[in-house]
Amino acid sequence: MEANQLGATLADHCQPARGIVGAGRKAGDGRNGLDDVVQAEDAAAAHGPIASFGVASFGPIDIDPASPAYGTFTSTPKPGWAGARFHDVLGQFGVPIAVDTDVNGAALGEWLKGAGQGCTTLAYTTVGTGIGTGVVRMGKPLMGFSHYESGHIRPPRDHAADPFEGSCPYHGDCLEGLAAGPAIIARWGQSLSELGSPSDKIELIADYIAHLAANLVLLHMPDRLIFGGGVMKAPGLLQAVRRLTEVKLGGYVRAPQLDPGLEQFIVAPALGDHAGITGAIELGRMAAGQ
């Protein structure tokens, strides 16, 4: 997507993700990922010179601007991406490049223009093909030596109720290995929505997600939790997450943000699938010093 300095959309391109290409590198499916850059060049001709790039990407990826590997994919299992670096492709334009995670981008987008408006601290979690959380405080995405990896926390579990061993190639039964979309399909053969959102299965997945939600409260004390991603669109899941999060917190944290039933505290993204790109535009604006 291309936007002007005010954040207004100028052009929007959407296509399946594939490996990006640098010197001597081939994309995972054999197609040249530089097609995206050609589109950017076309946009530049139509709307003026490009001032900066803002990237909100899946990971794991190096998001430390001081690192020589900034913008490089690390241990991702996605074919054609490990070791690839956005700067190898976008650097040819000679403009600032800001790279962050997709969930940090979504958190920033919702903080700016969505369900996080007015919040000091906001945590955005996606539950889709993977699970990840981005935290924004006063308009700045938070990180340590790298981005957060909430999806790889191991939750307590009842093996009798859920004998599934988990699908994460690194940890097996971490949150991502138990509750992300591929794990649900590996366990039951269909997504929650395709299964008709049966209450017992909703309850199981909601319990895992609520474990993460309760931990986000205890670790970050955010003003609001936003849960997005394809899995969260299953009917009844968000409501079950609210209920079980309240149970897990056990009344220990008392604050006006934690409304009875958590209907205002745990919400869906107001921007829907545009949260991430909204944040990426802001990353680009920040990189350009605007």
| Same domain, residue pair 123 and 98 | no
Residue 151 located in a structural domain: yes
Residue 109 located in a structural domain: no
Residue 125 located in a structural domain: yes
Residue 184 located in a structural domain: yes
**pLDDT for 22 beyond 50:** no
| Same domain, residue pair 148 and 246 | yes
| Same domain, residue pair 227 and 86 | no
Q: What is the pLDDT of residues 116-137, one digit of tens each?
A: 999 999 999 999 999 999 999 9
Q: What region does 48 belong to: left with phi over 0, alpha with psi -120 to 50, or beta?
A: left
Closest to 266 in 3D by CA, of 289, 247, 241, 290? 241
Residue 108 located in a structural domain: no
Q: What is the pLDDT of residues 262-275, one digit of tens each?
A: 999 999 999 998 99
Residue 71 located in a structural domain: yes
| Same domain, residue pair 177 and 246 | yes
| Same domain, residue pair 142 and 178 | yes
CATH number at residue 162: 3.30.420.40
Confidence of residue 152 (pLDDT cuts 50, 70, 90): very high
Q: Once rounded to an integer, what is the mean pLDDT over residues 71-83?
A: 81
| Same domain, residue pair 147 and 259 | yes
**pLDDT for 247 beyond 70:** yes
| Same domain, residue pair 223 and 252 | yes
| Same domain, residue pair 158 and 39 | no
Residue 161 located in a structural domain: yes
| Same domain, residue pair 88 and 152 | no
Q: How far apart are CA 168 and CA 130, in angstroms?
A: 10
| Same domain, residue pair 216 and 187 | yes
| Same domain, residue pair 256 and 279 | no
Residue 80 located in a structural domain: yes
Query: Strand order of the sheet with strand 140-141?
Result: 140-141, 131-137, 121-127, 224-228, 266-267
Q: Which domain holds residue 53?
A: 2-102+274-287
Work out how many domains the chain is built from and give that number: 2
Structure tokens at 97: 């490049």
| Same domain, residue pair 11 and 95 | yes
Higher pLDDT pick, 153 / 60: 153
